[in-house]
Amino acid sequence: MNYFLTEEQEMIKDLAHQIAEEKFKPLRAELDDTAEFPWEVVKVLRESDMFGIYLPEEYGGLGGGVLELCLAVEELSRVCGGMALSLAATALAAFPILLSGSEEQKKRYLPDLASGKYLAGFALTEPDAGSDAGATKTTARKDGDNYILNGTKCFITNGSVADIVTVIAMTDKSRGSRGASAFIVEKGMDGFSVGKEEHKMGIRSSSTAELIFEDCKVPKENLISREGMGFIVAMKTLDQSRPGVAAQALGIAQGALDAAVDYARQRKQFDRPIITFQGLQWMLADMATRVEAARALVYSAARSADGGEKRVAKDSAMCKLFASDVAMSVTTDAVQILGGYGYMKEYPVEKMMRDAKITQIYEGTNQIQRDVIGTQLIRESASRK
């Protein structure tokens, strides 16, 4: 199917595919077992300029956008959704700076993010504040030329390996979500430490950690935008980043479909390849159709984000919702097609099924995505009257 990609976009897709096949695949099973962070892979991504594909040239990037990021994340996730997160999660944390940061902040941080010298994390979630960002308890108190942060963030992707973290904290609790502000916190700042590393069902080669702020001193220059803008910064960020989660889900689904087709062609029962049975062909046909529909929606939403479309919140929510549900259904079907072998770690589809589940949960559960879509539909209907 023709998605009208430019020559440069096709090159990004091909390069990411090559990296995934040559560098990700040999490490996939081992790192899933050991839950070790893929530093060897990060080095390759740095050398291939993958970390800069979505950032402007003036800050050391390659001048692409959300679509270019999605193309890379899709191909990397086709082999391993966990390893792909070293790139995707860094991009998530970079978006607050790119979208809402000052020129000084952009010049200071984006070049090192573009080169991959810095990895980054986005710290929004807390033990009691997931979908309800207004329930954030981490506080930031102005003290002279600094802000003093106190609180705990949890489930932060890249948490233990990040050089910088973009953090949402409350500067005025009385205002609810309108009292939130966004900050750039650097590794090594006084009072900032990493807590426990989470042991997860899937994406096990990705770092997911607790971050602790105990009278953490952050220079006032590291406030993103201005006080009270944290919730808006976070929502603008998620509008841009959710297509990336959708691309991760899409890649996982495509990888599972590929594995299922290859297995069905080789596996024989009743003296014939099982792919020749109509019931299985129809199953694969449905899987392939859902994957292709997800791809069309992801690419469309990415273009909407890059074009600054007003409908970006709805488009991003739709593609994240649909692609992650497709990833879960397709990986489950792939395990079924492989039968008993699909349930064993010797084959990659059981890992893909485990990896797919998180895409329905993080960066807003799929129930929250439906809320976002519904709210946008109400607004669109009201605007037509």
Contact 91, 244 (CB under 8 A): yes
Per residue in 60-115, pLDDT (tens digit) is: 999 999 999 999 999 999 999 999 999 999 999 999 999 999 999 999 999 999 99
- Residue 318 to residue 214: CA distance in whole angstroms: 38
CATH for the stretch 7-118: 1.10.540.10
Determine which helix (DSSP H) or strand (DSSP E) holds 219, and give its type and residue range. Answer: strand 208-219
Nearest 5°: the CA angle 187, 192, 194 is 80
Residues of the chain with CATH 1.20.140.10: 231-383
**pLDDT tens-digit series, residues 228-274:** 999 999 999 999 999 999 999 999 999 999 999 999 999 999 999 99
Contact 23, 48 (CB under 8 A): no
The reported pLDDT for the residue numbered 176 is: 85
Check 74, 75, 350, 363 and give the catalytic one: 363
Residue 352 pLDDT more than 80?
A: yes
Place of tokens 């993080």: 362
Q: Which of 21, 27, 15 is nearest to 206 (CA)?
A: 27
- Assess contact for 68 and 53: CB atoms under 8 A: yes
Which DSSP helix (H) or strand (E) runs through 331? helix 312-338
Q: What is the pLDDT confidence band of residue 131, given thresholds at 50, 70 and 90? A: confident
Q: How many residues does the chain have?
A: 385
Which residues belong to CATH 2.40.110.10 in the chain? 121-228
pLDDT at 179 over 90: yes
The architecture of the domain spanning 121-228 is Beta Barrel (2.40)
Q: Under DSSP, is residue 121 helix (H, G, I), strand (E, B) or coil?
A: strand
How would you classify the pairing of strands 146-157 and 208-219?
A: antiparallel
Q: Does the domain spanning 231-383 belong to CATH 1.20.140.10?
A: yes
Mean pLDDT of the chain: 97
Q: Which residues pair with 217 in a beta bridge?
A: 148
**Model pTM above 0.75:** yes
Residue 195 DSSP label: E
Residue 1, pLDDT > 80, answer no
Is 71 within 8 Å of 13 (Cβ atoms)? yes
pLDDT tens sequence across 283-327: 999 999 999 999 999 999 999 999 999 899 999 999 999 999 999
What's the token pair of residue 85? 């997160």
30 carries an active-site annotation: no
Please tell me the distance from the alpha carbon of residue 231 to that of residue 24, in angstroms, as a whole number: 36
Closest by Cα among 243, 236, 237, 217 to 318: 243
CB 233 within 8 A of CB 308: no
Q: What is the rounded average pLDDT of the residues 329-336?
A: 98
Least confident interval from 133-142, 209-218, 230-239, 241-250: 133-142
Between CA 170 and CA 175 the distance in angstroms is 9
DSSP characters over 39-65: HHHHHHHHHTTGGGTTS-GGGTS-S--
State residue 293's pLDDT score.
98
pLDDT at position 384: 84
H or E element, residue 269:
strand 268-269
| Both tokens assigned to 103 | 């020129």
